[in-house]
Chain A
Amino acid sequence: MTSAISVSGLVKTFGPTRALDDLDLNVQTGEVHGFLGPNGAGKSTTIRILLGLLRADSGTARLLGGDPWKDTAALHRRLAYVPGDVNLWPNLTGGEVIDLLGRLRGGLRKQRREELLERFELDPRKKGRTYSKGNRQKVALVAALSSDVELLILDEPTSGLDPLMEAVFQDCINDERERGRTVLLSSHILAEVEALCDRVSIIRNGHCVETGTLADLRHLTRTSISAELAGPPNGLANLDGVHDLVAEGNRVKFEVDSDKLDLALKQLVSSGVRTLTSQPPTLEELFLRHYEDAK
């Protein structure tokens, strides 16, 4: 499989701040790649380097086989971008902005544009200054999704959208995946990334700390178990991979590393299980753990 985006050892400093610190990122062609991190982790900086808006201090970045700083115009013909903070020209209507950005990219699909306006319930006749934040975001989304490009770069594209529109957005991204487009989706909303992404990279303090499929990352996560047993629990406390064990009589609550689940369950069964509740690991938890480490 070829790489749509391949970044290695990227460094970018703003004065004393080291925004990117040896960042690696690999996005394969045709995948929806989640780019996760809290505010200020360096997501937008990475994206702006990929767009040739900022220049990296060191490291290499390749985008669709080209150099994002040198081959800017040629590469931009093949991608569409939605910024996290969309500002529109106060006296241009939403429709005018959509058409402008589409034309600058070399044309947009008229039918798709109309369909998206309807799905996102956006009135294109309003002037830029009268749109709410969510509606400004929709203008940029419609412009990007209705253009005919290979790569979509979306920087926290759903900030300001309500849950209904968030669902519409997810449908649209699934459509794009079926069309074979590559999507880089930066986000700090985990549910969104879990619902959409084939692979995920997690970035913290300008450095990529984890990358892989959601299944890969689950090896790093824990499952929460609570059970009522026939007799007092035995041997659980000493078991490798069991954390935060709380035992009250015949009831136990604990967390277990997802890859040690099998052993823990065997131990429970040996005491006789009356009820069992297990909560699957969420990215949320994985995410929190990574940032707890940072604190």
Chain B
Amino acid sequence: MIGTALIGTGHLVRLALRRDRILLPIWILFLVGITYSTTTALEELYKTPESRALLGVTANANSAFLAMLGPLHDTSSLGGLVAWRWGVFSGLFIAIMAMLVVTRHTRAEEEAGRTELISATVVGRHAPLAAAVIVAGGTSLLIGVLQALALIGKDLDATGAFAFGLSTASVGLVFTGVSAFTAQLSENSRVSNAIAGGFLGVTYLFRAAGDAAGESGPQWLTWFSPIGWTEHVRSFGDDRFWVLGISLAAFVLLVGVSAYVVTRRDVGLGLLATRLGPAGGTIGTPFGLAWRLQKGSLIGWSLALLVVGTIYGSVAQAVGQMVQDNPALGQIVQQIGGADAMVDAFFATITQMLGLITSIYLVQAVLRLRSEETSFRAEPLLATPVSRWGWVASHAVFALAGGAVVLASAGLGLGLVHGLRTDDLGTVLPQMLGAALVQLPAAWVIAGVALALFGLFPQFTGVSWAVVSVSLVITLLGPALQLDQWIIDVAPFTHVPKYPDIVAGPLLWLTGVAAVLLAAGFAGFRRRDLTT
């Protein structure tokens, strides 16, 4: 029974590898390459045991670091530093890889009607899902092993190296399972990815909130996150391989449930059923249509960042507490400027991170234009009296104003909770709204790049995602990797004033840059051929 259900899996695996022959090697190269280069950079920076120990004390006292990267468990070797600096992000990136690959070969294929074509040949019912799981899971394992070999190549302890590599692979496996499941839920691959991505975001935040306040905080939260599990492996420290059993169990369970759902549903349909809708409509403007298409994403992002904001807002006080509880840190903290300065630095880092995340929403809102165009849905619209500018503006407003709404929600979450906990809502709330909203001009610049690409070089709009990723990596890792200043300066978020020292200058010129890019995008689209 199972045997026939899997017939043709091999062919489908080869088909998937053929389709992804560029994408997968890039992911592998990226995840292994950064492992190697991070090790090299940290080796240069922290040569002596003393310097590593000092880093350990400061890193574990800095809640912004803790929230972003997790605790630094072991400073006795270089490996511990690598695991701390890169482990969480390595997991984050491999999760995105697994998610995109699985959805691309399951729900997206089904949505496009190609699964129907394939299923009519000698291909078992489970073969498409099995092939996607094999490709994504196999790539995850390969990346894990190569990461381990890269670390061993840098003369690090082999056990620790494999603990690290397999930790990364385990996150890839869990998210292979998560996406295999979300692909069964909706008929729409965009929704599948959104649900899986939302799960990734929420579980990342669980671990961030759990870590942010060190031992004073709710550390148990990290056990609810697949990325949190990798921290508990403590690579290059205790090397607790048993923790990886949890990931493996989650993977098996998720794939099993997904395979069961496959046998219970029709090809092309999801578990979430489609209902009949209204026979007539009230939408009568391009903006009305854009609102209909974009509101789900806008509301989802705003709610998500509101929740994120409340989580971080609730941790902030513990950050100050952590410092006071730890006399050993006293001196360092005094140098930085006391407990209040620690809390300020925490908010500065958090709001910057929220700004970076929001730029993903902005780019997604802008790229809706391109997907509307290439799916030929823009054509009948632009054959009505709707002008090209009007159509572009109807979507761009979701990036520009929608981005403000998303960031304000984050600021609201931060300010409300931190304000209530410190009994100073009147001061804290406006401060936090401001700290979140100052990120907006930098996010606009990234949206501007996306719109300029759409208007001037439409076939390269996908490069916008590379721009988002590069700006993320430069902003978060650039200073630690000691990149050249000019590279760091390229990322727009570098120039956002750090809370609480808000100055208008950089905000104005960032807005100016964004305006120029947007204008170029508008003008370019007005002059170019529609893609047909």
The chain A residues found within 8 Å of chain B, CB to CB, are 44-45, 48, 51-55, 72-74, 76-77, 79, 81, 83, 85-93, 95-101, 103-106, 123-127, 129-130, 140, 153
| Max count, chain B CB within 10 A of own CB: residue among A52, A86, A92 | A92
Quick check: B530 and A140 within 8 Å, CB to CB? Answer: no
Quick check: B384 and A104 within 8 Å, CB to CB? Answer: yes
Which residues of B lie under 8 Å from residue A127 when comparing CB positions?
274, 276-277
Q: Closest Cβ of chain B: how far from A129's Cβ, in Å?
A: 6
Interface residues on B, range: 35 or more
In the bound complex, CA of A48 to CA of B380 (Å)? 10
Which residues of B lie under 8 Å from residue A140 when comparing CB positions?
380
The chain B residues found within 8 Å of chain A, CB to CB, are 187-188, 274, 276-286, 288-289, 292-293, 375-377, 379-388, 527-530, 532
Quick check: B529 and A54 within 8 Å, CB to CB? Answer: yes
Which residues of B lie under 8 Å from residue A72 when comparing CB positions?
387-388
Quick check: A55 and B284 within 8 Å, CB to CB? Answer: no
In the bound complex, CA of A99 to CA of B530 (Å)? 24
Quick check: B280 and A86 within 8 Å, CB to CB? Answer: no
Quick check: B276 and A104 within 8 Å, CB to CB? Answer: no
Quick check: B380 and A101 within 8 Å, CB to CB? Answer: yes
| Max count, chain B CB within 10 A of own CB: residue among A87, A106, A127 | A87
Quick check: B379 and A74 within 8 Å, CB to CB? Answer: no
Quick check: B375 and A48 within 8 Å, CB to CB? Answer: no
* 14 extra interface residue pairs, beta carbon distance < 8 Å, beyond A53-B379, A73-B387: A45-B532, A48-B379, A52-B382, A53-B382, A53-B532, A79-B383, A81-B380, A89-B292, A90-B187, A92-B292, A95-B281, A99-B283, A101-B381, A104-B381
Q: Closest Cβ of chain A: how far from B292's Cβ, in Å?
A: 7
Quick check: B283 and A96 within 8 Å, CB to CB? Answer: yes
Quick check: A104 and B292 within 8 Å, CB to CB? Answer: no
Quick check: A96 and B286 within 8 Å, CB to CB? Answer: no
Quick check: A53 and B284 within 8 Å, CB to CB? Answer: no
Which residues of A lie under 8 Å from residue B376 when comparing CB positions?
83, 85, 87
Q: Closest Cβ of chain A: how far from B325's Cβ, in Å?
A: 52
Quick check: B532 and A54 within 8 Å, CB to CB? Answer: yes
Q: Closest Cβ of chain B: how far from A76's Cβ, in Å?
A: 4
Quick check: A124 and B385 within 8 Å, CB to CB? Answer: no
Which residues of B lie under 8 Å from residue A53 when comparing CB positions?
379, 382-383, 529-530, 532
In the bound complex, CA of A283 to CA of B194 (Å)? 53
Which residues of A lie under 8 Å from residue B382 when comparing CB positions?
51-53
Quick check: B276 and A89 within 8 Å, CB to CB? Answer: no
Of all chain A residues, the one with the shortest Cβ separation from B380 is A83
Quick check: B386 and A103 within 8 Å, CB to CB? Answer: no
Quick check: A90 and B188 within 8 Å, CB to CB? Answer: yes
Of all chain B residues, the one with the shortest Cβ separation from A140 is B380
| Max count, chain A CB within 10 A of own CB: residue among B283, B289, B527 | B283
Which residues of B lie under 8 Å from residue A97 when comparing CB positions?
281
Of all chain A residues, the one with the shortest Cβ separation from B286 is A104
Of all chain B residues, the one with the shortest Cβ separation from A104 is B384
Quick check: B385 and A77 within 8 Å, CB to CB? Answer: yes
Quick check: B281 and A96 within 8 Å, CB to CB? Answer: yes
In the bound complex, CA of A74 to CA of B388 (Å)? 13
In the bound complex, CA of A128 to CA of B381 (Å)? 15
Which residues of B lie under 8 Å from residue A130 when comparing CB positions?
274
Which residue from A81, A88, A100 sits with its C-beta under 8 Å from B283? Answer: A100
In the bound complex, CA of A130 to CA of B386 (Å)? 27
Which residues of B lie under 8 Å from residue A77 when comparing CB positions?
385
Quick check: A93 and B379 within 8 Å, CB to CB? Answer: no
